[in-house]
Amino acid sequence: MKKYVFAAMWLLMNTVCAWGVQFDKDPSADKPEVGSSVITAREVFQQNIPPVARQFIGTPYEYGGNPLTSGTTDNSYLFFAIYTTAAQRAGLSYYGYLPMARLLKNVRQIDENQVQKGDLMVLNNQLAAMIFDIDDTGRLHLIYVSEKRRQVISFHSDNLVFEVFWLKNMTGFFRLKEAMLR
């Protein structure tokens, strides 16, 4: 009889441990230490923006082109491809493709001192560039599809064109609404 009781107790203990309850484990062991770095999926998303964006530089322009399937792109699909790929690498999902006018309805304006990787700089004609990187000096690196050059280009905030065109015609900086990433 003792064998059966012992076997039943052993089975019960192992079953409970398999469910995630362990009797010999210190409960404070799972808590992060104060000051330890715990990274969120949204932070991983932002960290993935630069390498994902860089892979599209030089991609030919074609209206309605999706760089993930056709090797060509327009601005809406460029942003879709960057957001989708960075989200997947972070274990998130991006809402889905939206034409530029609809995408701009799913962002919120932010102050220029809050700009992060993945934010958009939008002009008064609804042309937008994505901030894909910010270096240690605070210089912004942007990416967009130039219809004039017929390809995806990048530029930075020390560029003369940034000063005389982008800043002069800027509506503001914008960030995806929370619901766009799940």
Q: Which residues make beta-bridge pairs with 120?
A: 130, 174
Residue ranges of domains in the chain: 41-180
User: pLDDT tens across 167-176, in order?
Assistant: 999 999 999 9
Q: How confident is the model at residue 64 (pLDDT cuts 50, 70, 90)?
A: very high
Residue 55 has pLDDT above 60, yes or no: yes
Beta strands 120-123; 151-156: pairing state: unpaired
* Average confidence score pLDDT of the chain: 84
Given a contact cutoff of 8 angstroms between Cβ atoms, the answer to whether 148 and 133 are in contact is no
Cα separation, 148 vs 74, whole angstroms:
12
Kindly report the pTM of this predicted structure.
0.78
- Mean pLDDT along residues 18-40: 47
Q: Which CATH architecture has domain 41-180?
A: Alpha-Beta Complex (3.90)
CA distances from 54 to 15, 70, 82, 115, 132 (A): 49, 17, 9, 19, 8
Cα angle, residue 119 at apex, residues 72 and 57 outer, rounded to 5°: 30
Residue 82 has pLDDT above 90, yes or no: yes
User: pLDDT tens across 92-105, in order?
Assistant: 999 999 999 999 99
